[in-house]
Chains A and B, each alone.
Chain A
Amino acid sequence: MATEEKIAEDTGHRIENMWLNFGPQHPSAHGTLHLIIEVDGERIVSSIPHIGYLHCGFEKLGEHRSYNQFTAIADRMNYLSPMCNDIGWSLASEKLFDVEITERCALIRMIVMELSRIADHMFATGMQAVDIGAFTWFLYGWRHREEIYDILERCCGQRLTTSYSRIGGLMRDMDDTAVEMALDTARRLPKTLDDMEGLLKRNRIWIDRTCDVGSFTTEQALNWGYTGPCLRAAGVPYDVRKDEPYLLYNEVDFDIPIGEHGDVFDRWNVRMEEMRQSARIVQQCCEKLEPGPINTPDNRFHLPPRERLYDNIESMIMHFKQVMFGHGTRPPKGEVYCRTEAPNGELGFYIVSDGTDNPYRVHVRSPSLMQFSAIPEQINGRMISDVVAIMGSLNIIAGELDR
């Protein structure tokens, strides 16, 4: 301080910190994240995050759509793993409607969710590496990511906007070829992951850029509402699949990797290990899968089979009831909160129902919001280059963050 005052006296100029816009068009700002940072040289003094560039009013829109229609909105929120959002929404609705699903449906949902988790982690870790400068690395995993998208395409006809899940069932069955493809991918994945890890895990530059960068203690992570790999990297073994099991997660064998320091390296490491565990889950589910119905026998929730439509009056009425506005299935009045483990953390849907066929209020607890809100805590006092490493490690999805 004394030097600054002296310079000011000598030259008549005051030295001030510079304010810098980081994003929203910065290539490493993952979509539309905007940080205003105050820098002293290259060191960050303070920072203000701004969000909302991608605010679409999904929650407001949900109040004007029926329960099944919102599935299509839910999967546009997270464009890396739309399956997890679809199924998360369906599980929340099923909790509200009090519907049970069939075993085959539960297993298929688990398979597609875990495949999406692998694809999401592959992208998250890959982009993290690209942001730091390791471009080749993510291409190694791209092959499996393409395979996974082929499987999803075979299941529902879409690679990105899947809308696969329905209340009480699925849009259509997963055929044997798709199951074989999933099994094949899950079997070959660990080998690829070993290769990928070998490229980075003991790489000097990688370690320098990631170790002890953005460290979070257990208390900090819990206080800031971190979930998913970022929380587990800080040493908390919280995984909704284990702590509040849904579907059949309690019957498959998998482990929860946890880190120690909560830094960028640990987050990367936890994600790599989680992909292996997801591959294990996919294998077990594929082996358990047996032929059977995928929809609940309660025909209030899905369209009747097409061939029944022409010779059966009940089916025809049910079909019209399903597709006409204001005639859909009505849930009981009440409020439910349902959490699932999405790839970047705990994804929760809070539904308020007033007994009509549209939700009265939909609230999405998106993991990205909590993770981005703690950005100033993590980057203040660090270098500008660390911002890129930290933002990449959080796996923030702007669509879900701004909703």
Chain B
Amino acid sequence: MDDVSRGVNYYKLSAATREQREGDIAIQKRALELLRERFGEAILTVQTVRDDITVTIRPDTLKEMLALLRDSDELKYNFLSSITGIDYMRYDIPEEWGEIRFGVVYNLFSLEKHANFAVRVVIPEGEPVPSIYDMWRTADWQEREAYDLLGIEFAGHPDLRQLFLYDDFEGEHPQRKDYPLKGKGERDRSWLKIQKAARGES
């Protein structure tokens, strides 16, 4: 189209940024090497999207793996950015993951080496993930969030209760894929409850 074929000036990453990105990728590759050495068979898949590596594992080696990433002098992934719970119910998952329902992704960042890394744990429904509350306290509320919205259990979490939803929001996890966007009428139910209580009925 002639409108857009005028000279377009893309912004180019400056030399310093490019160097930093390359350093980041080198650290990620080194981390992957170290993980492969120690947990060779435990790693199910390794995915690379835009140079960011994500390693998928089962929950049993999670804590050892995160401890290795955190404590290794070469890597020093000392900052836990984010914990994301995902419901893979309608997702076309790789075969290697097996029969699973949920995934929990831990996004790490190394403040010293300026590098990313992500570890994904996959679990079938009902199986718990070990809590990393004792490694990073920031996991406290993020695990509670995943528990609240997706119903993922975290074994070893000292205070696993609802975070966002109110207390009598019973047994439902709205972030799950089989939960409709409009809800299942909980609001009507609680409104009826309030009305009944006001009238003095049980």
Chain A residues with a Cβ under 8 A of chain B: 51-52, 55, 57, 59-61, 63-64, 95-96, 98, 100-104, 106, 222-225, 236, 238, 243-245, 247-248, 250-251, 290, 292-293, 295-297, 299, 304-305, 308, 312, 314-315, 333-337, 339, 346, 348, 350, 352, 354, 360-361, 363, 365, 369-370, 373-374, 402-403
A365 in contact with B81 (CB, 8 Å): yes
Looking at the complex, which one of B11, B79, B86 makes contact with A102 (CB distance below 8 Å)? B11
A292 in contact with B1 (CB, 8 Å): no
Q: Please, which residues of chain B bring their CB within 8 A of the CB of A96?
A: 49
Closest to B135 in A: A223
A245 in contact with B82 (CB, 8 Å): no
Q: Please, which residues of chain B bring their CB within 8 A of the CB of A334?
A: 47, 49
B91 in contact with A354 (CB, 8 Å): yes
B138 in contact with A244 (CB, 8 Å): no
Interface-side segment among B35-43, B159-167, B190-198: B159-167
Looking at the complex, which one of A245, A305, A373 makes contact with B141 (CB distance below 8 Å)? A373
Residues of B within 8 A of A (CB-CB), count: 56
A335 in contact with B82 (CB, 8 Å): no
B10 in contact with A103 (CB, 8 Å): yes
**New A-B pairs, 7, CB < 8 Å, besides A293-B6, A339-B81, A373-B140:** A52-B164, A222-B79, A245-B16, A290-B9, A293-B8, A337-B81, A352-B91
Q: Please, which residues of chain B bring their CB within 8 A of the CB of A315?
A: 1
Closest to A352 in B: B86
> Closest Cβ of chain A: how far from B181's Cβ, in Å?
5
Q: Please, which residues of chain A bring their CB within 8 A of the CB of B7?
A: 292
A238 in contact with B111 (CB, 8 Å): yes
With A250-B17, A348-B107 known to touch, is A60 a contact of B175 (CB < 8 Å)? yes
Q: Please, which residues of chain A bring their CB within 8 A of the CB of B175?
A: 59-60
CA distance A101 to B181 in the complex (A): 34
Q: Does B153 contact A (CB under 8 A)?
A: no
Chain B residues with a Cβ under 8 A of chain A: 1, 3-11, 13-14, 16-17, 20, 24, 47, 49-50, 52, 54, 78-82, 84-87, 90-92, 105, 107, 109, 111, 114, 116, 118, 136-138, 140-142, 145, 149, 162-166, 174-175, 181
CA distance A361 to B78 in the complex (A): 26
With A103-B9, A336-B50, A337-B52 known to touch, is A346 a contact of B84 (CB < 8 Å)? no
> Closest Cβ of chain A: how far from B109's Cβ, in Å?
8
CA distance A95 to B165 in the complex (A): 32
Q: Please, which residues of chain B bring their CB within 8 A of the CB of A335?
A: 47, 49, 54, 105
> Closest Cβ of chain A: how far from B134's Cβ, in Å?
11
Q: Please, which residues of chain B bring their CB within 8 A of the CB of A52?
A: 162-166
20 interchain pairs, CB-CB under 8 A:
A52-B162, A102-B8, A102-B9, A103-B9, A238-B111, A243-B109, A245-B20, A251-B14, A333-B92, A334-B47, A337-B84, A350-B82, A352-B86, A352-B91, A354-B91, A365-B84, A370-B138, A370-B141, A373-B140, A374-B137
